[in-house]
Amino acid sequence: MRKLLSIVAALSVAITLPYTADASPEQDLKDFRAYFKKRFPQVEFNEFGNGVYAIDAASRAQWEAIEDFPPYEVAIENGKTLFEKPFKNGKTYASCFPNGGIGIRQNYPKFDTAKGEVVTLESAVNDCRKANGEEPLKTKGGDIADLVSYMAYTSRGKKMNIVIPNDPRALAAYERGKAHFYAKRGQLNMACADCHVTNAGNYVRADLLSPALGHVTHFPVYRSNSGSMVNLQDRYAGCNKQVRAKDYPLQGEEYRALEYFHSYMSNGIEVNGPGSRK
């Protein structure tokens, strides 16, 4: 708690959104949305789910050309095959998820009150595997990216609906994620918010910075850069690496907390994953 308060103190100079440790998530979300609405008045709320393509016509045109036949279609197909393949014990992923795992992506991450921790779709997939005697999948790329791509695809059109139950542990996880998002880090001393809130719509060298509102809806993404599918936390790792900050384990507590907060901020925006990005 003391650590959190010292981070808050350090942050009070750095950011432009009102940040108080005892503001509620609901108030945070209101402020977040108001900030982006003011910064990008021409962008309709749901369009924020398209990130930079909602704010830059030239890159949007290239994105639309790729979306005409996007490489992530291969990931969706492969993901479906993986999703439907039974485990050695005969059960399938459907047995671990509400609604058989179809059309549920918008509810993740969720706070599992029984386990007392944040569960992401990726960690739920691996929990399912472990519960059924299978080895967990690598937490980035490959099969897990394809599986989550398929599951995201079945949720297209459904609005992000992250819930923070009235449980101090859930609130603590949310606050931890929020602290991570606003904390300056790494040799370059930059916070997620520096680029994606304060400088959303500006350029960092050749890259247009995407607004954090609607950030999570289109993940996993097929990146032209690598020609492969990238999960959200893999991108967190990439960003932290680029500001030369401490690396955190994928699907560890820190990134799950970040994803919890980050996803809550996209509530109300339709899932449109998997997506294509540069």
Q: Footprint of another protein on this chain (CB under 8 A)?
A: 58-59, 61-63, 65-66, 68-69, 71, 73-74, 195, 203-207, 209, 224-225, 227, 239, 242, 278
Minimum distance between the CB of residue 228 and another protein, rounded to whole angstroms?
A: 9
Which residue, 154 or 210, has its beta carbon nearer to another protein?
210
Minimum distance between the CB of residue 6 and another protein, rounded to whole angstroms?
A: 27
Which residue, 29 or 230, has its beta carbon nearer to another protein?
230
Minimum distance between the CB of residue 191 and another protein, rounded to whole angstroms?
A: 13
Minimum distance between the CB of residue 74 and another protein, rounded to whole angstroms?
A: 6
Is residue 239 part of the annotated active site? The answer reads yes
Minimum distance between the CB of residue 51 and another protein, rounded to whole angstroms?
A: 12
Kindly give, in sequence order, each residue whose CB lies less than 8 Å from that of residue 245, ignoring residues fewer than 6 positions away. 185, 186, 187, 188
Rounded CA separation 167/82 (Å): 35
Catalytic-role residue among 96, 128, 192, 239: 239
- Which positions are annotated as active-site residues? 239
